């Protein structure tokens, strides 16, 4: 499997920049989208990207384009949460799959 | 949405009661790694023998039609005028059309009846090579641009080559060494790993739930899933590759699919083909 390390570093970076919260809603929305993208990238590299995460990021980008920063930020935050769930799945499955095959009835 | 979530939760529960059967002693057993493909294959065959006591294992090459009586009738009628026939004819024409250098596919594959040789592990390249890759290798050797793996042309060629390869027995080898075993294990891992928002593994549907109904469809057994590609599907209104089916099965559980001929899908094909060793090739086929 591919290593998720570079992407995890990106997430750590995104998390750091988040602590100095920008007041500008446009900046905030952009930061939220960047964070969601980094999380999605990490889930992709772990082989566990979810399509719904991508769809939310697309929504967020479209809203950003239209200047709807509130929608952009909320879609991006949901995408981040979803990518975290998919990374948790990758983590759990890294060992759990071994108990599944071969099956007995 | 609600319905699928309930299904997913149900399978989560199912997943927690999986059992590991005792490995059998066998030639290919690799005691260092604990990987024992021959024991895996035997265990899977035993599983389906118990799950489908009235279905000879060989019959699973016909997918759900091996046990879905109603659907089988319709399918047999459909096979009177096989919807993949045009693709086979087009493929034959493409197969015989020379490249710019005057050579052609017959210089690489003879009469084209070579499907039984793929997939195999290529020691020099250290990877699994599929028929689709071999077709593009042949083109490259003769200065032709590669065909798109999700395009119509390559699927017509493979339809023709599958047709003339009918009856060959799947006999995927696992040569000595770490490379082939690692590729096998990666495929097995892929098959057994839960993915997507619905949290399903391939095996959740095609092993644990095999024979059961998912919405309007019965679920086929893993055994025999590689024997008959490409497939004409009424849903696609065309012939499509095994990797396109992988794509759809990944997508329907909410997972982002992998590209056709990606390392992931080639290893998956290698594993599934090994599981189907001993079954006869019967492609192309038609499916709903």
Over residues A6-45, the pLDDT tens digits come to 555 555 555 555 556 557 999 999 999 999 999 999 999 9
Residue B50 to residue A44, Cβ atoms within 8 A: no
Percent of chain B with pLDDT over 70: 89
- Residue A87, domain extent: 40-93
Assess contact for B220 and B63: CB atoms under 8 A. Answer: yes
The strand pairing partners of B127, in sequence order, are B122
Residues of B with CB under 8 A from a CB of A: 15, 18-21, 39-40, 43-44, 47, 50-51, 188-189, 191-197, 199, 201, 203, 207-208, 251, 254-256, 264
Kindly tell me if the per-residue pLDDT of B16 is higher than 90: no
Kindly tell me if the per-residue pLDDT of B14 is higher than 90: no
Over residues B252-273, the pLDDT tens digits come to 999 999 999 999 999 999 999 9
Residue A100 to residue B39, Cβ atoms within 8 A: no
Residue A47 covered by a domain = yes
Residue A50 to residue B264, Cβ atoms within 8 A: no
Residue B78: its pLDDT value, please? 85
Q: Would residue B249 show up in a list of annotated catalytic residues for this protein?
A: yes
- For chain B, say whether A95 makes contact (Cβ under 8 Å): no
- Residues of chain B contacting residue A39, judged by C-beta atoms under 8 Å apart: none
Q: Pairing mode, if any, of strands B213-214 and B120-122? A: unpaired
Residue B255: its pLDDT value, please? 98
Confidence of residue B25 (pLDDT cuts 50, 70, 90): very low
- For chain B, say whether A89 makes contact (Cβ under 8 Å): yes
Residue A22 covered by a domain = no
- For chain B, say whether A71 makes contact (Cβ under 8 Å): no
Residue A77 covered by a domain = yes
Percent of chain B with pLDDT over 90: 80
User: What are phi and psi for residue B286, nearest 5 degrees?
Assistant: -120, 145
Beta-strand runs (E) in B105-185: 120-122, 127-129
Confidence of residue B35 (pLDDT cuts 50, 70, 90): confident
- Residues of chain A contacting residue B51, judged by C-beta atoms under 8 Å apart: 105
Among candidates B268, B170, B112, which has minimal Cα distance to B257? B268
Which positions ≥6 away from B55 have C-beta within 8 Å? B48, B66, B67
Question: What's the structural domain count of chain A?
Answer: 1
- Residues of chain A contacting residue B16, judged by C-beta atoms under 8 Å apart: none
Which homologous superfamily is B61-288 in?
Cytochrome c-like domain (1.10.760.10)
Provide the shortest C-alpha distance from residue B195 to chain A (in Å): 6
What is the pTM for the complete model shown? Answer: 0.88
Assess contact for B96 and B104: CB atoms under 8 A. Answer: yes
Residue A5 covered by a domain = no
Provide the shortest C-alpha distance from residue B241 to chain A (in Å): 22
């Amino acid at each position: 499997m591919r290593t998720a390390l570079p992407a995890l570093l990106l997430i750590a970076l995104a998390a750091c920049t988040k602590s100095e919260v920008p007041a500008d809603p446009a900046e905030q929305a952009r930061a939220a989208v960047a964070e969601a993208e980094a999380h999605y990238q990490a889930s992709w590299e772990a082989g566990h990207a979810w399509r719904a995460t991508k769809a939310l990021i697309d929504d967020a980008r479209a809203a950003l384009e239209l200047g709807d920063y509130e929608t952009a930020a909320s879609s991006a935050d949901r995408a981040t949460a979803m990518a975290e769930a998919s990374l948790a799945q990758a983590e759990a499955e890294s060992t759990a799959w071994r108990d599944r095959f071969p099956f007995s009835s | 949405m609600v319905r699928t979530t309930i299904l997913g939760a149900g399978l989560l529960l199912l997943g927690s009661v999986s059992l590991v059967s005792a490995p059998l002693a066998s030639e290919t057993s690799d005691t260092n790694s604990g990987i024992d493909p021959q024991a895996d294959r035997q265990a899977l065959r035993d599983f389906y023998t118990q799950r489908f006591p009235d279905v000879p294992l060989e019959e699973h090459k016909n997918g759900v039609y091996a046990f879905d009586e109603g659907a089988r009738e319709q399918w047999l009628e459909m096979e009177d005028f096989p919807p993949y026939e045009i693709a086979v004819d087009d493929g034959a024409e493409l197969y015989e059309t020379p490249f710019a250098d005057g050579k052609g596919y017959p210089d690489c594959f003879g009469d084209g009846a070579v499907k039984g040789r793929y997939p195999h592990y290529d020691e020099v390249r250290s990877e699994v090579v599929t028929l689709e890759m071999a077709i593009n290798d042949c083109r490259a050797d003769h200065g032709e641009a590669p065909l798109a793996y999700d395009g119509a042309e390559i699927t017509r060629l493979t339809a023709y080559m599958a047709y003339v390869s009918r009856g060959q027995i799947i006999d995927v080898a696992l040569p000595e060494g770490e490379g082939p075993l690692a590729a096998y294990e990666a495929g097995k891992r892929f098959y057994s790993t839960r993915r997507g928002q619905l949290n399903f593994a391939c095996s959740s549907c095609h092993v644990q739930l095999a024979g059961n109904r998912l919405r309007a469809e019965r679920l086929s057994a893993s055994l025999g899933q590689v024997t008959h590609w490409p497939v004409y599907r009424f849903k696609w209104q065309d012939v499509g590759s095994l990797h396109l089916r992988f794509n759809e099965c990944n997508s329907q559980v909410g997972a982002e699919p992998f590209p056709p001929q990606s390392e992931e899908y080639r290893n998956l094909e290698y594993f599934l083909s090994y599981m189907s060793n001993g079954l006869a090739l019967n492609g192309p086929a038609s499916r709903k």
